[in-house]
Structure 1
């Protein structure tokens, strides 16, 4: 599927996300307000072409894994209004193209990693 936009993906079956192997061909992952629960599957961090991630207004739990740093093309990240905990991984500093970051209404702790200083394109925080 490389080179093809698979479109906007809103998929919930019986209140649980169903993950589909799309290789690296997915650019946008939009699953906001789908009543998703649980933690983020590690398979999502293998989608190296992702530029847009929207999973806000669900009931996702757990911490943000260090593997997020592999999504270096990310420009828009919305995970607000979930139940995420812990600190922000320093590996997020690799997101040098990020311009919108929304993580409000979670239960994150700690200080901002100094590596986020590489976010010179950020316009919305």
Structure 2
């Protein structure tokens, strides 16, 4: 019978689909004698399952991310930032429970475009999402509030728009939120100010403009004003 496809088969698609022959770091790739756990940029667990694909800063990496990457069920880290990655993120990312172990996704500083796949916001362990300096567009869905492990969410300098979902305030472990240089409008979610001292936030002026007035549960974000001095208990008579 036909042997089932392995992690090595799925990751090999990257080589053929994304110009692997031009990568600076392609040592041992396609050498099935040593096994794909020895291929440069990959890491595996004790069971021989791929847990990391680290090809960030690989100038020769071009083209669209293939859907086959979503079949790496033990993958914890995928870094393709500072490459010529283009096209859209495949809708298979996170769909149907795939990539349930993924913790880090770094695909910023690339030529990515299109909208964010809905499945991305259902990956329970995701704690770092780096989408900075891309051509990604569309809105942030309220499902982002389900990413309870999220610590770093970097969306700076993309083309995202709409209002920021109130559910962002559910990300209680968030320590870095980058949203500047997008097309967001409105106000930061009301509860964000409770942990802003622990969370570094980059923002745009539109998000804390004094007009129009915010409607509950939103409030404009601005630095806290010093308390007004209390009036004296007795007003002295004028002379």
The interval holding the TM-score normalised by the smaller chain is 0.7 to 0.9
Name structure 2 gaps, 5 residues minimum: 1-6, 8-43, 178-239
Q: Rg larger in 1 or in 2?
A: 2
Among candidates 71, 74, 80, match of residue 25 of structure 1: 74
**2: CA distance between counterparts of 1:79 and 1:72?**
18
Question: What is the TM-score when the length of structure 2 is the normalising length?
Answer: 0.47
Displacement, 1:115? Answer: 1.3
Among candidates 148, 158, 167, match of residue 115 of structure 1: 167
Among candidates 76, 86, 89, match of residue 40 of structure 1: 89
> More displaced, 27-36 or 15-24?
15-24
Higher RCO by CA contacts (8 Å cutoff, separation 6 or greater): 1
Aligned residues: 124
**1: CA distance between counterparts of 2:161 and 2:119?**
19
> Which one has a larger percent helix, Structure 1 or Structure 2?
2
Over aligned residue pairs, what C-alpha RMSD do you find?
2.2
Displacement, 1:9? Answer: 2.9
- Equivalent residue for 2:111? 59
Q: 2:128·2:152 contact (CA, 8 Å) conserved in 1?
A: yes
Name structure 1 gaps, 5 residues minimum: none
